[in-house]
Structures are given as C-alpha cells and as structure tokens.
C-alpha cells in the first residue's frame, strides 16, 4: 500500500477525523483571515499594557543595567559586557535598541513584546498547519479543517491569561524570543520533512535558530531532542531511508549540548543547599514534580485570582514531605506512559504531551532558579490546545466553534483583568501577597511602591514585616537596605544609621549604604568622620560619585552653592551616561541644591532631565507638580497630578518647608516655570 494512503490500524475514528481535516477544501483567503483575527485578539487584550511600569527584574536587567543604555549605535556592543543575564545577549540587544529609540519610556518596550507575541501566535498557527495529523511522510496539504484547528489552537494559546507574564512583564521578552526561535526551528524541520525546502538550507536555518534562541534564553537547549521526538512520532519508522538523513542533521545540534553544559560548570552537589536559597538541587527536583501539576491547573483554569508573580510553594524535603510529592511523580510517569502509548493512534497528541514536559525540563529540574514562575509555561503549552481538540470526536470538533469562542471570550477578559493588575504596582504586590506569593519579596515590593508614593511610614511598617519573614541572606540584605533608605527619608536618622551600619558590617559597601551613612553623619555634624569616609570612597571607583555627593553636602552646609553645583555637574559629566542609577542620584542632589539656593529655574530644568532619563521617577514628577502649583500654573499642575495619581502616587497638597536633607526643599513660595 502506498505510504500516503496508509491507514492507522485499530483507530477508525481517528482516521476519519484526521482524514477529513487533511482533505477539506481551503479558500485562499482563510489563512489571511486567521492571521488577522489572531493579531486583533492579541492587540485588543494587550493594548492596555502599553503603560504598565517596570517591575521586579525589569530594574536590574533594564533600568539599572548600563549595558542596555546606548547613546549611539556603536554602543550596542556593550550588551556583551552586561553584568546580568550575560548568556542572553540577543534579548539584551533588543532592550538596548528600545532604549536607543525611546529611553526608559515603557511604551516601546511593551509594543515590541506585543508584536513578538503576535509573531509567535502566527508561527504556532503555521506549525500546526504543517503537522501531519496522520503518521505519514507524504501527507497532503492541509485543508480548511486543519487550518481551523490551527486557528483555534493558536488562539487558545495566545489569549490564555497565563501567557500575560511573558508578554506584560517586559524582561520576560527573553522567554518570548526563545519561543520564537524554538517554533521557527520546529517549523523549518517540518518544512524539510514536507519537501518544501532542501536539506542544506534546512540545516543552516536550524543551526541559526538554535544559536539565536540560545542567545535569547536557554530554553531552546531542548530543541534537538524535540526534533528527534517529532521525527520519531510523526514520521513512521518504515521511512528508514529518510530518517537516516534526518538523524545526522539533528545530531549535529545535539552534539552542541554537552559543550554548552560544560560551560555552565559542574553538576551541583545534589544534597547541598544552593547559595542564597533554602533548597538543594534534589529538593528542587522533588518540588518541581508538584509545581508541574500546579502549572497544568493554572493553564486549564487561569482565573486572575490564581495568577501572581512570585509563588511561595513549600519545598519538598523528602518523597513524602509534603505527602503529594511522590504521587506527583507517579502521576507524571503514568502521563508519560499514556502519551507514549498514544503515539500510533494520536501522534500529535502524544508529541504535544511529551513536548510539554520536555520544554519544562530546563527550568523544572535542578537548576539554581526560583521554584515557580508562570512565564515558564509560555513555550511548553504551545501544542496543548490542538492536542485537546484532537481528542474530541470529529462531529464534536466541527461543532465546537461556539464553545471555543466562549472560552476565548472568557480567557480574553481574564487576561485584560490580569493586565490591569500589572498597571497598579501597589495593588499588584498586595494581590500577590494575598494569593500566596513569597512573603518577603511581596512585602518588599509593596513597600517600594509606598515609598515611591511618598508614604514612608507605611513602607517602613511593610519592610519590618518583610524582615521577619526573610528566609535568605540575600532577601535580608535587600530589605534592610530599603528599610534604611525609608527611615532616612522619614528623617529618622539614628534608626537609619543603625540599619546601614549593620549592612556595611555584614555585606560591605552595598549599593549606596556608605552614602547614607555619610549624609547622616553630616546631619550629626561629625565632619571629620565624613571626610575620612570621603577619602575612602574616592579610592573606590565604583563609589567615587558618592564621595562627590558628600563633598557637595558639606559645601551646601557652608552655603557654597555655586561650588557645590559645579562639583556635581562635573561629576555628572564624568560618570558614564549608561549608569542610570548614578545619574539619577547625582541629578536629584543637584536639584536639591538648586532649590536651597532659590535657583528655581535650574531646579525645574534638572527635575525635567530626571523625568526624561527615567519617566517612572515619581519623586521628580511630584516636585514638578509642587513647583507648577506654587507658580500658579494650575493647568499643567493638574496634568501632572492626574499622571501621578494614575500611577498610584498620592499627592497631598503643597509641601511644608522641610529640612535640607530632604530633596523636596522649600519651594512653596517660589514661582515655577511651566512644563514643556
């Protein structure tokens, strides 16, 4: 019997359904319609995210990362010198291009993420179209039935609320980019298998996709194994001759893996606790058996109330602690066995299920990563939709349109609700806390939003709570630093000094701890101690700018405002423009001195520079609001106030005069320039 006409023995229902899907007539406009619908669906549900602020890991990877802050095209090569995410230069390059075009305005970053999600949905659509629904080498071209299956499968994946974390969370563009090259690699292999492209171009493109994907995120490391699995399940063993040509092509990619793994260092000590974690590699593996089933439940029932960023799941300390650990492993083994048994009658379903576990394996085994993040579902779930649909009888599948449309409507609405939560940082982290997030992390980030809004007492209370539940030294260090900063801003100097001295004692010159210590000593009029600290900071290149700020503080105390501003301006010019955190701190100090010197024009201009440098610096916006209101420019003041309140910042009227240490200064009686 010719291979193209071969039936699947023992499964007439599957044969009939698959055959119908393959043979249906296809109008020429159907793929275009499907593509437009996918783009519209995604555009509508993700349009509200265009002004979602930076959160969480966006800050170290983007906001505070000098490697992605180029001033000109030639600076793009600095992504290879990034102090963070060094193995993902292509993703960092995309952030650098965003910065080059629009600075730290979040609009451009979100727009790229949305367009990338649309591209992935279209790639997935084409991948499903290319899948042979019968295990055969020379399957006919897909008809309208298979294209409809591809549309529903891609749409169900694209609008599922669990994907919002990979789209709305800017830094997780890394996952979306890795998925793009992974899907492209699978599609190229199928195009070669369907005789659409030759072996040499297919091999070249596969290698390119693999390398580009690897430069985006390490999840693509499983692509060669996925290709082997795809070849074995969807193309029968009787085509041994063609398989013999495919295996070398895939093996070439597989050969790269051991070398890449060696670059990451040796295998871990299985029962030794990871640095800065509260689990060992083996405990993480056992915990992930349970996490996988939690992921599945989230995918099937993605209510916004079940979704949050930082999960706080109990660690599995043994096979029976908690008791669900061993049953979770057994359930996985049963699922693998069932999927393998279905390889003859339902090869696509078999591949989709096994691929789900394979694609999760990089981030769900012994890697020194957080236990659970739902953006890890972005790639593994790509084929779960069509797999579920192919389990339905043919009649049910053909009549499922209204039901599937209802599911899309619910999931789209839930995605919009979840995206709206991302827009309001304080309520976002408060919701995370209520839903079982890691308590120290959620409390710390909730406190950061209260601090940005100027509510320092509330922030301090939250940070003290976070300190009590910090489970690692890394968490404690971050919480202590933020607590000290907020105590300082609340003018509680003795308490702040105690906190910062603890940080310096236990963790060294962490971030700007020494700067805070110096500023407190200035308030205590301990000038000699400050000068000794300045001398030490000058010798540390990384902290030299802090020495200049302290020198400026001393000069300001002597009312030598002109000398102090000249010193800070010179330091701003000397410090690399890409170091945003330093540039912000220097400019904030410069603006404070201008206010003390009653140079309102220069203070206004400096605060405007700060908002252009980092639009989410709400303190600078608040200062501009007060200056505009004090100067009688009520129209522009109202615009700024609406922006601040829309960002969760509470503006409580005009500020009273404050002590010199506070950057607000006394500007209530001064005229102000209008915003430009």
Is residue 138 predicted with pLDDT exceeding 60? Answer: no
Q: According to DSSP H, which parts of 575-663 are helical?
A: 580-596, 600-613, 618-630, 634-646
Query: Of 362, 354, 377, 370, whose CA–CA distance to 227 is shortest?
Result: 354
Average pLDDT, the chain: 84
| pLDDT category of residue 415 using cuts at 50, 70 and 90 | very high
Span 303-354, pLDDT tens digits:
998 888 877 788 999 999 999 999 999 999 999 999 999 988 899 999 999 9
**If you count DSSP H runs as helices and E runs as strands, how many of each does the chain have, helices first?**
31, 0
**Cβ atoms within 10 Å, residue 389:** 20
**pLDDT at residue 655 greater than cutoff 70:** no
Query: What percent of the chain has a predicted confidence (pLDDT) above 70?
Result: 85
Mean pLDDT of 97-118: 95
| Whether residue 495 has pLDDT greater than 70 | yes
Calculate Rg over the CA atoms of the chain. 29
- 513 φ, ψ (degrees, to nearest 5): -60, -45
| Helix pair 144-159, 401-423: axis angle to 10 deg | 30
pLDDT above 90 (res 174): yes
| Adjacent-strand bridge partners of 311 | 437
Q: Which of 222, 138, 148, 219 has the alpha carbon at shortest distance from 178?
A: 219
For the chain, give the percent of residues with pLDDT over 90.
Answer: 47
pLDDT of residue 661: 29
What is the number of alpha carbons within 13 Å of residue 327 lying toward its C-beta?
Answer: 5
DSSP 579-596: -HHHHHHHHHHHHHHHHH
Residue 318: strand pairing partners: 321
Given a contact cutoff of 8 angstroms between Cβ atoms, the answer to whether 61 and 84 are in contact is yes
Q: Per residue in 557-597, pLDDT tens?
A: 999 999 999 999 999 999 988 888 899 999 999 999 999 99
Measured between alpha carbons, how far is 318 from 282 in angstroms, rounded to an integer? 9
Amino acid 25: pLDDT = 54
Q: Angle at the Cα of 429 (from 425 to 434), degrees rounded to 5?
A: 145
Helices assigned H by DSSP within 319-400: 325-341, 347-360, 384-390, 394-398
Q: Of the candidates 470, 472, 471, 552, which has an alpha carbon nearest to the alpha carbon of residue 483?
A: 470
Q: Higher-confidence residue: 169 or 672?
A: 169
pLDDT at residue 450 is higher than 70: yes
User: What is the distance between the alpha carbons of residues 31 and 203, in angstroms, rounded to a whole number?
Assistant: 27
Using CA atoms, how far apart are residues 421 and 434, in angstroms rounded to an integer? 13
Tell me: pLDDT of 96 over 50. yes
- pTM (two decimals): 0.85
pLDDT tens-place string over residues 175-225: 999 999 999 999 999 999 888 898 889 989 998 999 999 999 988 889 988
What pLDDT does 143 receive? Answer: 61
pLDDT at 639: 86
pLDDT digits (tens, 9 = 90+) for 595-610: 999 998 999 999 999 9
Closest of 54, 52, 47, 85 to residue 67, by C-alpha = 85
Mean pLDDT, residues 63-85? 91
Per the model's pLDDT, the better-predicted residue between 170 and 473 turns out to be 170
Measured distance CA(390)–CA(253) in Å, rounded: 31
| pLDDT greater than 60 at residue 546 | yes
């Amino acid at each position: 019997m010719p291979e193209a006409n071969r039936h699947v023995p023992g499964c007439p229902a599957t044969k009939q359904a698959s055959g119908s899907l393959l043979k249906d007539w296809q109008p020429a406009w159907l793929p275009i319609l499907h593509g437009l619908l996918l783009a519209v669906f995604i555009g509508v549900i993700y349009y509200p995210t265009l002004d979602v602020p930076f959160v969480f890991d966006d800050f170290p990877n983007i906001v505070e990362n000098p490697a992605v802050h180029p001033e000109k095209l030639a600076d793009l090569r600095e992504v290879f010198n990034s102090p963070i995410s060094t193995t993902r230069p292509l993703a960092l390059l995309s952030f650098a291009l965003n910065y080059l075009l629009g600075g730290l305005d979040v609009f451009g970053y979100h727009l790229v993420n949305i367009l990338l999600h649309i591209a992935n949905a279209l790639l997935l659509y084409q991948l499903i179209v290319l899948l042979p629904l019968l295990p055969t080498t020379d399957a006919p071209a897909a008809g309208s039935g298979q294209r409809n299956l591809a549309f529903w499968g891609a749409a169900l994946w694209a609008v599922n609320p669990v994907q919002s974390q990979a789209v709305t969370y800017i830094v997780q563009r890394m996952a979306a980019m890795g998925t793009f090259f992974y899907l492209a690699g699978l599609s190229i292999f199928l195009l070669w298998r369907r005789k659409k492209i030759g072996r040499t171009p297919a091999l070249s493109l596969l290698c390119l996709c693999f390398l580009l994907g690897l430069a985006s995120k390490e999840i693509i490391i499983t692509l060669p194994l996925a290709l082997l699995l795809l070849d074995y399940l969807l193309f029968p063993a009787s085509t041994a001759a063609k398989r013999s040509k495919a295996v070398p092509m895939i093996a070439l990619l597989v050969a790269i893996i051991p070398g890449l793994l060696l670059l990451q260092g040796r295998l871990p000590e299985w029962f030794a606790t990871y640095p800065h974690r509260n689990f060992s590699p083996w405990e993480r593996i056992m915990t992930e058996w349970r996490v996988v089933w939690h992921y599945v439940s989230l995918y099937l029932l993605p209510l916004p109330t079940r979704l949050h960023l930082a999960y706080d799941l109990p660690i599995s300390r043994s096979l029976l602690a908690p008791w669900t650990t061993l049953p979770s492993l057994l359930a996985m083994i049963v699922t693998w066995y069932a999927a393998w048994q279905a390889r003859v009658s339902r090869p696509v379903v078999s591949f989709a299920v096994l691929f789900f576990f394979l694609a999760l394996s990089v981030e769900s085994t012994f890697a020194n990563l957080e236990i659970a993040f739902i953006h890890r579902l972005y790639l593994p779930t790509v084929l779960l939709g069509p797999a579920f649909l192919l389990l339905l009888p043919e009649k049910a599948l053909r009549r499922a349109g209204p039901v599937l449309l209802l599911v899309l409507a619910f999931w789209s609405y839930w995605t919009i609700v979840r995206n709206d939560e991302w827009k309001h940082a304080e309520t976002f982290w408060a919701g995370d806390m209520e839903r079982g997030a890691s308590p120290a992390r959620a409390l710390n980030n909730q406190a950061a939003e209260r601090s940005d809004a100027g509510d320092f007492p509330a922030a301090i209370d939250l940070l003290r709570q976070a300190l009590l539940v910090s489970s690692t030294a890394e968490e404690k260090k971050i919480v202590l630093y933020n607590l000290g900063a907020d105590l300082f801003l609340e003018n509680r100097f003795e308490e702040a000094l105690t906190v910062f001295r603890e940080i310096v004692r236990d963790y060294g010159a962490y971030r700007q701890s020494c700067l805070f210590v110096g500023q407190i000593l200035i308030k205590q009029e301990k000038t000699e101690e400050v000068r000794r600290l300045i001398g030490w900071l000058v010798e540390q290149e990384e902290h030299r700018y802090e020495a200049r700020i302290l020198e400026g503080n001393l000069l300001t105390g002597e009312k030598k405002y002109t000398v102090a501003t000249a010193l800070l301006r010179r330091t701003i010019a000397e410090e690399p423009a890409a170091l945003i955190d330093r540039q912000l701190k220097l400019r904030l100090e410069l603006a404070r001195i201008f206010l003390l010197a009653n140079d309102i024009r220069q203070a206004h201009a400096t605060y405007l520079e700060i908002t252009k440098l980092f639009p989410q610096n709400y303190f600078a916006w608040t200062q501009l609001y007060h200056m505009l209101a004090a100067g009688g420019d009520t129209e522009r003041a109202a615009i700024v106030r609406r922006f601040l309140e829309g960002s969760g910042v509470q503006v409580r009227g005009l500020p009273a005069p404050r002590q010199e240490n506070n950057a607000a200064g006394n500007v209530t009686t001064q005229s102000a320039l209008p915003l430009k």
